[in-house]
Amino acid sequence: DGGITQSPKYLFRKEGQNVTLSCEQNLNHDAMYWYRQDPGQGLRLIYYSQIVNDFQKGDIAEGYSVSREKKESFPLTVTSAQKNPTAFYLCASSASTRSNQPQHFGDGTRLSIL
Amino acid sequence: AQSVSQHNHHVILSEAASLELGCNYSYGGTVNLFWYVQYPGQHLQLLLKYFSGDPLVKGIKGFEAEFIKSKFSFNLRKPSVQWSDTAEYFCAVNAPTGRRALTFGSGTRLQVQP
């Protein structure tokens, strides 16, 4: 059953700590995305990757980092520089970054600060 | 830069009432338009999409949307809502040029009362 798997479902971060959110897809999609969802603000783009070993900053990339070493994996690291990391994080993928390609979403990771 | 506005933040309807959720986008060129739905506890799912052709598009579960280019709008409609339509609805736009990722509106929370 193809899809996107995000883990963990819930994550807690201590002050000054980096944490990494996992995103794996078995859809054979080239493009992958990370969004942050806050109440009343919809989804905002953090980073996206069109292909392996390539990624681009989105609207709110500060305090985050990503890597794309494998086609199926696009982990997101929330660094200590991100001062307000409490949010719901969604990973998505699409066959390509062509604008008519719909995105498929994972179930999300909810990050909270201890 | 492209942007999306959803003016209805929270809508409450009774079952069998008709639904129309507003979506306006800001972009001067050709766009591709999407509506996504997020049911409670589930991941974001594609409801319908518009690329070109007939401006009235039909999606899953009886939803439809009309693209009106002169008004930069892509409103979502359903003639008769059901309790199971309770969810959050997001309008999104993607342009063939520039950034290769979706821009989302802030979302509309729909509550259908039995």
Q: What is the pLDDT of residues B7-33, one digit of tens each?
A: 889 999 999 999 999 999 998 788 899
β-pairing, A10-13 vs A109-113, is parallel
Average pLDDT, rounded, for chain B: 92
The answer to whether the CB atoms of A42 and B46 lie below 8 A apart is: no
The minimal CB distance from B101 to the residues A33, A40, A104 is found for: A33
Q: Residue B98 pLDDT > 70, yes or no?
A: no
Nearest CA in chain A to B39: A107
Q: Is B42 on the interface with A (CB under 8 A)?
A: yes
Q: Residue A99 pLDDT > 80, yes or no?
A: no
pLDDT band at B1 (very low <50, low <70, confident <90, very high): confident
- Say what percent of chain B tops pLDDT 70: 97
Instruction: Output the pLDDT for position A102.
Output: 86
The answer to whether the CB atoms of B106 and A31 lie below 8 A apart is: no
Q: Is B59 on the interface with A (CB under 8 A)?
A: no
State whether the Cα torsion B97-B102-B106-B109 is positive or negative.
positive
Q: Residue A97 pLDDT > 80, yes or no?
A: no
* Omega prior to A8 cis, within 30 of 0: yes
Instruction: Output the pLDDT for position A55.
Output: 95
State whether the Cα torsion A17-A47-B88-A103 is positive or negative.
negative
Torsion of CA B49, B51, B53, B58, to 10 degrees: 0
More reliable by pLDDT, B50 or A102: B50
pLDDT band at A96 (very low <50, low <70, confident <90, very high): confident
Instruction: Give the residue-averaged pLDDT of B35-56.
Output: 93
Ramachandran angles phi, psi of B80, nearest 5°: -150, 110
pLDDT tens string A30-76: 999 999 999 888 899 999 999 999 999 999 999 999 999 999 999 99
pLDDT band at A104 (very low <50, low <70, confident <90, very high): very high
Q: Residue A84 pLDDT > 70, yes or no?
A: yes
Contact criterion met (CB below 8 Å) for B15 and B81:
yes
Q: Residue B111 pLDDT > 90, yes or no?
A: yes
pLDDT band at A2 (very low <50, low <70, confident <90, very high): low
SS3 (DSSP) at A113? strand
Instruction: Output the pLDDT for position A1.
Output: 58
Nearest CA in chain B to A109: B43
Average pLDDT, rounded, for chain A: 92
Q: Is A105 on the interface with B (CB under 8 A)?
A: yes
- Where does residue B107 fall: left (phi above 0), alpha (psi -120 to 50 degrees), or beta otherwise? left
SS3 (DSSP) at B34? strand
Instruction: Give the residue-averaged pLDDT of B68-93.
Output: 96
The answer to whether the CB atoms of A102 and B49 lie below 8 A apart is: yes
